[in-house]
Amino acid sequence: MSKIIIDTKILPIKADQVEVVPTGAVGDISRETMIKLLESADPKKNEEYVDFIKRQADAKKAALDLLKLVLGLSTKQIDKINSELEESTIDNYVGYVESLLQGLATGSYADFVKAQDEDNEEVTDPKSEEDED
């Protein structure tokens, strides 16, 4: 069976990486989590703000549950991750794990962040806009 290597150096756990077999169950929870994350990104038309926040909280719980299952972590380790890392770092790390599970990325978390930064530079680079004129 093929395995996915997930870089865990950024997490406050002992392992530097975890090998994961991309089983059907892992794929299912990955897709379910991705749906919740995407649906919680923006408020729906005429939605009460509190309902939007509840959807975001539900998506965050799903993301942490994904990490717990995929990385084989304990509740105590998940609580430590949640209390020690910035929320934006957790969100980005979940994006990294999701990308690996969906086959959209390979490599380390640092490589993932670097690729994201390069993509953002391409979109916002003022020189590229000047060159178009």
Q: How many residues are given for the chain?
A: 133
What's residue 80's pLDDT? 96
Any idea what DSSP says for residue 43?
P
Position 85 scores a pLDDT of: 96
Residues 33, 83: Cα–Cα separation, whole Å: 21
Amino acid, single-letter form, for residue 10:
I
Query: In order along the chain (133 residues), what is the average pLDDT of each group of 10 residues?
Result: 92 94 92 93 90 94 96 96 95 94 88 85 59 52
Interatomic CA distance for residues 45 and 52, integer angstroms: 10
> What is this structure's pTM?
0.84
Q: Which tokens is 80 given?
A: 């430590």
* Distance from C-alpha of 69 to C-alpha of 84, rounded to nearest angstrom: 19
